[in-house]
Amino acid sequence: MKRRATAQAHPNIAVVKYWGKRDAALNLPAVPSLSVALERFCTRTTVEWGIDAAADSVEINGKAGSPKAAARVSALLDLIDPQRPRCRVQTANNFPTAAGLASSASAFAALALAADGAAGTQFNRNQLSAIARQGSGSACRSLWGGWVEWRMGEADDGHDSHGLQVAPADHWDIAVVVAMVNEGEKPVDSRGGMLATARSCPFYPAWVETAPADLAEARRAVIARDLERLGRVMEWSTLKMHATMLTTEPSIRYWQPATLSTVQVVEELRRQGIGAWYTMDAGPNVKVFCERADAPAVARAMAGAVNRVEVLGVGGDAVLLPEDPEHPSP
């Protein structure tokens, strides 16, 4: 018997960053983090549970997945059911893959949810979040919409290290203006980058030590809908993370010239009285948080510095999608 399910998840942008692991095999973080889901950008994934084939079939954005990507997908399916049959996975993003826009977050969240639906295992959201985390850490935050915290957890097996919704999407209608500096794949992936930072950056202990206070401050700012307060701590966490990246041996620099130009545009906007705050992840693209009403002015100002600008709102929960009646499950 073949069973099939399709799920959709949004990427998330960390306000307080995850960079560093206390357990690399289980993807347990060295720091807590907090993110917001991005509306409109999404990953859609279909899992067919039980195909007549010698190996899993993994298709990413219309092409066969690389052996490395396919192995990560298969490993996640094993967490849903170690006795599982061979599966077919088809996944696609409607935004650039691997360019610091958290594509692995939405990918593994959608995969965990679709696989659970196809297998009929009925894990709860926290369990699915802990499973998605093992595919990619930040994915544990993409099971929910709105504002999501990732508590580090204490258990050795990681079952308590999963996302937790701080506030749903409709709690706070802010805009995230994404300035696409470069849509290509990043030179160093987050996984290798954060391991190298932990190994060689002399400032890493300070990064780990100061993260819980940033998390508490960001949580308070989200609950109070205080954008300036959130913006300040987001930039602080961002700059501390990039400082540890830069001072890793060998140095990791995700910024490109247009990244810095965009930061200068944001600072100029603030001097003009427009509330806008920036953040960057493991890539050159810049995400700017502002009030909805200010988004057109912010987008216009950034358009001069970069190739493409997208204005996004806050996204909702990861969901299972109804079956397409034209392509019913076999």
To the nearest whole angstrom, how small is the minimum distance from the Cβ of residue 142 to ligand DP6? 10
Structure token pair of residue 103: 């594509």
Does 207 bind ligand DP6 (CB under 6 A)? Our answer is: no
What is the DSSP code (8-state) at residue 231?
H
Residue 278 found at the interface with ligand DP6 (CB under 6 A): no
User: What is the smallest separation between the CB atom of 287 and ligand DP6, expressed in angstroms?
Assistant: 11
CB of 282 to ligand DP6, least distance (A): 4
- Among positions 19-38, residues that touch ligand DP6 (CB under 6 A) are 19, 27, 33
Tell me which residue of 45, 39, 38 sits closest to 116, measured CA to CA.
45
Binding test (CB under 6 A) with ligand DP6, winner from 48, 56, 214, 281: 281
235 binds ligand DP6 (CB under 6 A): no
Q: Does 136 bind ligand DP6 (CB under 6 A)?
A: yes
| 282 is a site residue for ligand DP6 (CB under 6 A) | yes
> What is the footprint of ligand DP6 within residues 76-105 (CB under 6 A)?
102, 104
Q: Measured from the CB atom, is 28 or 265 closer to ligand DP6?
A: 28
**Token pair recorded at residue 194:** 């954060």
Answer yes or no whether residue 14 interacts with ligand DP6 by CB under 6 A: yes
Q: Which residue in the set 96, 137, 146, 284 belongs to the binding site for ligand DP6 (CB under 6 A)?
A: 137
Residue nearer to ligand DP6 on the CB measure, 18 or 204: 18
**Residue in 39, 36, 44 with CA at minimum distance from that of residue 12:** 36
CA 150 distance to own-chain centroid: 11
Q: What are phi and psi of 204, to 5 degrees?
A: -55, -45
Question: How many C-alpha atoms does 245 have within 13 Å on its Cβ side?
Answer: 26
* Nearest residue to ligand DP6, by Cβ distance, number only: 137
Q: In whole angstroms, how far apart are CA 188 and each of 194, 195, 317?
A: 10, 11, 29
How many residues of this chain interact with ligand DP6, rule: CB under 6 A? 15
Shortest reach from residue 136's CB to ligand DP6, in Å: 3
Query: What is the Cα gyration radius of the chain?
Result: 19
- Residue 27 or 93 with smaller CB distance to ligand DP6: 27
Of 188, 6, 244, the C-alpha closest to 111 is: 6
The answer to whether 165 and 147 are in contact (CB under 8 A) is yes
Q: Which of the ranges 15-23, 170-178, 291-299, 312-320 carries the binding residues for ligand DP6, by CB under 6 A?
A: 15-23
Closer CB to ligand DP6, residue 41 or residue 49?
A: 41
* Region binding ligand DP6 by CB under 6 A among candidate stretches 11-19, 56-64, 270-278, 309-317: 11-19
Q: Which stretch binds ligand DP6 (CB under 6 A): 2-10, 119-127, 132-140, 270-278?
A: 132-140
| Tally: H helices and E strands in the chain | 8, 16
In the chain, DSSP assigns E strands to: 3-9, 12-16, 21-23, 28-29, 33-37, 43-49, 57-60, 63-64, 87-93, 147-150, 163-167, 174-180, 276-279, 286-291, 308-312, 319-321
CB closer to ligand DP6 out of 102 and 305: 102
First to last CA, the chain: 9
Q: Which region, judged by CB under 6 A, interacts with ligand DP6, from 80-88, 134-142, 210-218, 305-313?
A: 134-142
Residues near ligand DP6, by CB under 6 A:
14, 17-19, 27, 33, 102, 104, 136-138, 190-191, 281-282
